[in-house]
A = this chain, B = another copy of it.
Amino acid sequence: MMYQAFLLAIPLLMVFQTSCINTSPLDSVKAIEQARAPKVSLSRLDELRNRAKFIGRSCKEVKDRYGQAEDGLYYLTTSTGVVYQTFCDMTTAGGGWTLVASVHEDNIYAKCTVGDRWTSQQGNWANRKTFGTVEAATDDDFKNPGYYDIDAEDMSVWHVPNKTPFYHWNLAAIMRYHTERRFLHLYGGNLYYLFHRYPVEYNVGKHLSDNGPSIPIVYDLGDKESTKMFYGPYSGGEIEGGFISFRAINHERAATAICSGVKPKGGNVEHYCIGGGGFFPEGNPLQCGDFTGFAWNGYGTHIGFSTSKQMLESAVLLFYR
């Protein structure tokens, strides 16, 4: 478990310079938060408001056209003129990454409730519904117009402990990676189009043979082995680290949306893939949640098919470039 201690050390050292034994990244974030509302100068507010002058459909366009290199919130415009604000990662691997969505499990015990925006009857993977806000992307499910509007090539994914404010996401993350092969070009330019081609619906096919693509990833934090360690020990035998996979089907013909960090080699995908759509036959409605079967053998126990507590209590942030 050495790798975990290492990952934890970064945010903790910044705040406490204390031992990891009794403290989690979440606790450190809480400590920061309990301090006080931040002070900001008028000139800084002015500068932030002036970002409304940058016109682009993606963070990459804002970076390329206006030389913006600071991580933070920027204004984007869709092809039809909708203006919205979102977080831009301007530093990782060249920068220009646009946050378009987060998948957040608000309550693994409440199955298929209105809080599970990524696993309702429709699942919202292939429509233009938007929800949540960028500042609450680790407090709640989030989807903005960039999800369906941006014409992208690659994706980046961050797993960030719940309730972390966005200015601490980078440091608090437990896993970060991106793709480099411009795979989205082949699938319409973004997830909206990809999931039109690979509908996240019950009974669209058989596990493994009818799954969507698995794309190799480059790690920015973590590696293949640390990825596998986040998922349950029983999952280990049927996943391979170093990939992001789409529309994975399980033994009961239910479809999940994204397997973050891994490629499925079996049909128990509900234990290591997130989101879904339609109907989960096995133990219905037990597998119906944004994080489907992540707590199958207890909450955060890391026993059997249960993921680690860290994984269960982190939101999955999706970026395009």
Contacts and interface: CB of A to CB of B under 8 A. Distances in A.
Given A133-B130, A188-B37, A189-B37, A49 B55 contact: yes
A78 B150 CA distance: 26
Given A34-B197, A39-B151, A57 B45 contact: yes
Contact of A80 (B46, B48, B151, B196): B48
Main secondary structure of the interface of A (DSSP, over half): loop
A40 B79 contact: yes
Contact of A81 (B73, B78, B145, B148): B73
A275 interface: no
Interface in A161-206: 163, 165-167, 188-190, 192-193, 196-197
Interface residues of A, number: 64
Contact of A48 (B77, B106, B132, B193): B77
Interface in A110-134: 110, 114, 121-122, 127-130, 132-134
Most chain B CB inside 10 Å of its own CB: which residue of A33, A34, A56, A81: A81
Contacts of A148: 37
B40 A45 contact: no
